[in-house]
Chains A and B, each alone.
Chain A
Amino acid sequence: MTAFPNYDSKKIAALDAQAQSILGVFERHKYIRAEPSVLQPAEIFLDRSGEEIRRRTFAFTDPSGNELCLRPDITIPICKMYVGDGIKLPARLCYNGLVFRHQPAEPERPTQFYQAGVELLGVKDRAAAETEILTLAAESMEAAGLSDYTLKVGDLGLFSAFVDALDIPPQWRGRLKRHFWRAGYFEALLTRMSKGAANDAQRLLAHLGTLGDAEARAAFEGLMDLFGAAHQGARTREEIVDRLMEQAADAALRFDPKMAKLLSQLLAISGPAEKALTQIRTLTKSAGVKLEAPLAAMSARLATLKSLGIAPNRVSFAARFGRNMEYYTGFVFELWSRDAEGAVQVAGGGRYDTLLENLGAKKHIPAIGYAIRTERVLAAKARRT
């Protein structure tokens, strides 16, 4: 591998032929080509996606002082393109283009690579949309000539549904769902919830949490008064007191250790997809938790994959899968194969139901998409021949 890939005539011919086949599949399913500018205002990426993507984005200042970047991804700018235009829904978009990623930790990895993908926007029937995307995934892989891939699947909605079904105070539900995304804090929270306060500050909070709301708020306001006009950054005093109130309430509440164990058990489930679903069913049954809808949805996806000729032993499931992915909100999946250097992700996708609103859409637009790392597919094929 090299940081700066050059394409000779042979490589170009191979990429072109592959792109033709893949785009042919997309177009047969009525997807329309679109391509956002390579150069993008940096703001939508930097403010929407946080420091982790930012460190992998080539961002710079143009001669007039504007912050620009090379698109690190096509989904965000292609969605942005259509949000402004008052798009007619549902919309089916496809693309094949270069994206650019700084690779600070692995300098030998390519800084630019092709992605061919689709975005399906505004389909309310979620199962139908997912079937369509999985069908496209299977067909485009076949068109690209790669058959020995495996799938990892997950569902970010499963955890929320599980928490909703637990017999716990409503305020806990919100906290757990919000913190599910941050693995470290989540573990600490679970421990604290079931084992109680670990230090004096937490014990104090727990004590204050037993007071009535008005009393507790007055106590926290009093504490804040000690700091007078000390600066707080852009956080308001109200924000700080609100969080203290929330923490005090949390610290006073004791979480049934059985519930904490149940959550840990759920998050530990991973393996062959059919078996993992059975494990979740057993777990929910023994806990008296009803989780039928999301489990049925996952079963339906597995059935779709089977009908597409992808044998169940090629599909694995992990309850934690997708936790660290950028803008996904529900069903997520990745396609994996092997090249000369080992296991490699050749494609991936999922549901991102909140992205369009975040980009300025006036209403909720459900969305799901999928993208192929075409050069990796070529490398995986080259290994076999």
Chain B
Amino acid sequence: MSARLTLAVPSKGRLQEQVNEYFADAGLPMKKAAGARGYRATLAGFDDVDVLLLSASEIAAALISGDVHFGVTGEDLIREQAQSLDGRVTLIKKLGFGHADVVVAVPQAWIDVATMADLDDVCAQFYQRHRRRLRVATKYVTLTRAFFARAGIADYRIVESAGATEGAPAAGAAEAIVDITSTGATLAANGLKILDDGLILQSQAQLAASLSAKWPAPVRKTAETLLSRLAARERAKASLVLRVRLSGNAKKILAQVQKLAEAEILSQPGAKEYSLLVPRGNLMIATDILKGAGAITAEEADYVFRSGDPLVTAFAKSLR
């Protein structure tokens, strides 16, 4: 592999749109490469990044095998395929979209079952009555086994399902299921209910790095630049820049706004006009402290870069 960073992103569906929006918002629009049948793209401003368009589950597999450096896909798929993330994949950043819960669901008509402990009891009785194991349909075999083992359930059998898992109990192919849901509506429509303590994983789209890939110094440097750019955009969106003129008691007021509003002073001490970086949620606290000072302007920043960015530091540490 040449010293280029490969980034895998979803090739279709709502997730693709959201990932595109996410990168475009950080000033990094993706452009599909000509002649590559739509499977490759470029990232504006990053000439040494190859963007690969793959299916969400192929991305999880490519991260685990080390075929790509970075990938954006659902945490559920990564955890399902990796068994253990240790030394294989590091989850760098939750992206705030693609939410889906992996849950255990049983028929609504099972009015005697509300918890995993009930299900355990039912599994044991089912085996005694029917002389075969209760069947759980899922495509999340690894997650299901680990979760059921933690709950101490052993008397069941997994039926692997390729799609439309929620229909398996009604079709007579299984008694219970493990599947993803965002609102629970599909499950309810199929006569299923989620167990009270049946939440296996709250998944969302993650930016993840492969630890099995080779990371020569130039690739690592590109990766760190890309991460600090994404972090800078995120930080900018979470903050406001306040400009204010202070006289007299400036030192005291600044100390207060630093402490109470978690503001960061961007100006040199002794300036006439001060710039402060304030978390968006603390705007009211900050303006309250500054209200005697005269006009305050608040504006959005496009990016807020920071040396020693925690995201970059954590990434660098995970490669060690």
Contact = CB atoms under 8 A, between A and B. Distances in A.
B120 A47 contact: no
A233 interface: yes
B151 A240 contact: no
A261 to B, nearest CB: 21
A183 interface: yes
Interface string B257-269: 0000000000000
B111 A240 contact: yes
Nearest to A189: B117
Contacts of B125: 239, 243
Interface of A: 46-47, 50-52, 54-55, 104-105, 178-179, 181-185, 188, 201, 223-224, 227, 230-235, 239-240, 243-244, 247
A180 to B, nearest CB: 11
B158 interface: yes
B174 interface: yes
Contacts of B151: 184
A192 B107 CA distance: 25
A13 B302 CA distance: 72
A241 to B, nearest CB: 8
Contacts of B130: 234
Interface in B106-139: 106-112, 114, 116-117, 120-122, 124-126, 129-130, 132-135
Contact of A234 (B106, B114, B121, B172): B172
Contact of A233 (B120, B148, B158, B169): B169
A234 B117 CA distance: 19
14 contacts: A47-B132, A50-B157, A51-B148, A52-B149, A105-B84, A182-B153, A184-B117, A185-B120, A231-B107, A233-B107, A233-B176, A234-B134, A235-B107, A243-B121
Nearest to B121: A185
Is chain A's binding surface mostly helix, strand, loop or mixed?
A: helix
Contact of B108 (A55, A188, A227): A227
Most chain B CB inside 10 Å of its own CB: which residue of A55, A179, A224: A55
Contacts of B225: none
Given A185-B152, A227-B108, A231-B172, 13 more contacts: A51-B133, A51-B145, A51-B156, A105-B83, A184-B117, A185-B121, A201-B114, A224-B109, A233-B135, A233-B169, A235-B107, A240-B109, A243-B121
A184 B122 contact: no
B170 A46 contact: no
B98 interface: no
Contacts of A181: 124
B234 interface: no
Nearest to A227: B109
A235 B124 contact: no
B316 interface: no
Nearest to A230: B109
Nearest to B131: A47
Contacts of B153: 182
A51 B154 contact: yes
In the A-B complex, the 8 residue pairs with the closest CB atoms: A233-B175, A184-B152, A227-B109, A230-B109, A50-B154, A185-B117, A231-B170, A243-B112
Contacts of B66: none
B110 A235 contact: yes
